[in-house]
């Protein structure tokens, strides 16, 4: 069978790449060079699959921006040669990696699909094979002459999501991810159905560009009843801090106590960007709706709208890392760059 589509499978680590060593009973890394030998079903896909393994595969709890740069560099280096990319990644921080890559890979016109699994690929009841096979199949899909998916997606348990809209919601169930504020891009059932109205498209001719600078002088602060003044002050006074994702209640509400409001005001005056994101899994910040968010609106706290915390923290790193956005953090943060917010 002639192979017209070339897919690069990038293995970064995580449960998906593990098999049981039956002698010792321990989980050991799967040899991805022998992928086709171990998963013969892949031969049924009309594509050629090459593999690229990170020298030291990691549990995704050890992911950091330097790994995101490494992944982006692999894609940059092989962008012209391959029709699509599938990244095997631990599920724990997959939504962060997917979000970061969505900003870093500017003018992406090919599929970059992250997937992983809850059970190792060598386990009897594994979800790894289905996730891997379908993620690769999605990366090969065409819409006319063009790739059907031209963005960073996350495939898990029969659903393809926009990666920067996802959150890991279960450490137990095969359905480990959700995207409460944006519909699935595709669903795998008897048919593999792409939701054409919801996929991301670029309507200008600018060429693919990889951004590698991320600024990690950022923090996430989830507020809670009982957050005391000292703790807040300590966080806002972290040396070098440039942005805080403030996870507020409901539609973007926070305490109206004087010390809270004054400290946030002082931080903004100092130049720290404060971004209001809801700690609810779904829905949007709507500043000014309640009295408890009016003050935040008046002091120019940034509206995170319906963005996830994962997409917000990586967006802050990306915007801060790029001179072209300098001085206009609020304007850029509040507009959708890669379909991460409404
Ligand atoms: N701890 C693992 C990781 O994120 C879990 C998984 O692979 O799903 O790397």
Q: What is the DSSP code string of 211-225?
A: -------EEEEE--T
Mean of pLDDT values over 331-342: 97
- Ligand 1 atom closest to 176 (CA): 8
Mean of pLDDT values over 209-233: 98
Q: Tokens standing for 189? A: 């059932």
Mean of pLDDT values over 144-161: 97
pLDDT higher than 70, residue 1: no
- Ligand 1 atom closest to 94 (CA): 4
Query: Looking at the whole model, is its pTM more than 0.85?
Result: yes
Among the ranges given (27-36, 38-47, 68-77), the one the predictor scored with the smallest mean pLDDT: 27-36
Predicted confidence band of residue 141 (pLDDT cuts 50, 70, 90): very high
Active-site positions?
A: 15
Predicted confidence band of residue 3 (pLDDT cuts 50, 70, 90): low
**Ligand 1 within 6 A of 170 CB?**
no
Q: Tens digits of per-residue pLDDT, 160-178?
A: 999 999 999 999 999 999 9
Rounded to the nearest angstrom, the distance between the alpha carbon of 302 and the centre of ligand 1 is 32
Contact between 211 and 321 under an 8 Å Cβ cutoff? The reply is: yes
Q: Tokens standing for 133? A: 């096979």
- Tell me, what's the pLDDT at 252? 96
Mean of pLDDT values over 48-59: 91
For residue 207, the tally of other CB atoms under 10 A from its CB is 7
Cα of first residue to Cα of last residue in the chain, in angstroms, is: 43
Phi, psi at 73, each rounded to 5°: -70, -35
């Amino acid at each position: 069978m002639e192979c017209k589509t070339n897919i690069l499978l990038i293995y970064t680590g995580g449960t998906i790449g593990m098999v049981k060593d039956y002698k010792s009973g321990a989980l050991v890394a799967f040899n991805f060079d022998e992928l086709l030998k171990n998963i013969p079903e892949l031969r049924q896909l009309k594509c050629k699959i090459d593999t690229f393994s990170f020298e030291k595969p990691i549990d995704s709890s050890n992911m950091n921006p330097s790994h995101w740069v490494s992944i982006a560099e692999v894609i940059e280096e092989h962008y012209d040669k391959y029709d699509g990319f599938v990244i095997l990644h631990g599920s724990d921080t997959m939504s962060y990696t997917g979000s970061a890559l969505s900003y870093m890979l500017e003018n992406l016109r090919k599929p970059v699909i992250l997937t992983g699994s809850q059970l190792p690929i060598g386990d009897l009841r594994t979800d790894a094979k289905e996730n891997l096979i379908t993620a690769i199949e999605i990366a090969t899909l065409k819409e006319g002459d063009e790739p059907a998916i031209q963005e960073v997606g996350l495939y898990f348990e029969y659903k393809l999501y926009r990666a920067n809209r996802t959150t890991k919601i279960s450490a137990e169930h095969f359905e480990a991810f959700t995207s409460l504020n944006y519909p699935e891009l595709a669903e795998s059932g008897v048919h593999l159905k792409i939701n054409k109205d919801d996929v991301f498209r670029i309507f200008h001719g600018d060429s693919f560009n990889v951004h590698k600078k991320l600024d990690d002088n950022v923090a996430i602060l989830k507020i809670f009843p009982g957050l005391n003044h000292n703790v807040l002050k300590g966080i806002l006074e972290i040396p070098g801090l440039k942005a805080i994702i403030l996870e507020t209640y409901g539609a973007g509400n926070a305490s109206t106590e004087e010390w809270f409001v004054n400290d946030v005001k002082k931080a903004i005056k100092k130049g720290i960007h404060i971004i209001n994101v809801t700690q609810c899994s779904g829905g949007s910040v709507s500043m000014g709706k309640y009295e408890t968010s009016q003050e935040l609106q008046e002091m120019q706290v940034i509206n995170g709208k319906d963005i996830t915390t994962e997409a917000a923290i990586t967006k802050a790193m990306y915007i801060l890392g790029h001179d072209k956005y300098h001085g206009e953090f609020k304007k850029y943060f509040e507009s959708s760059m890669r379909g991460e917010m409404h």
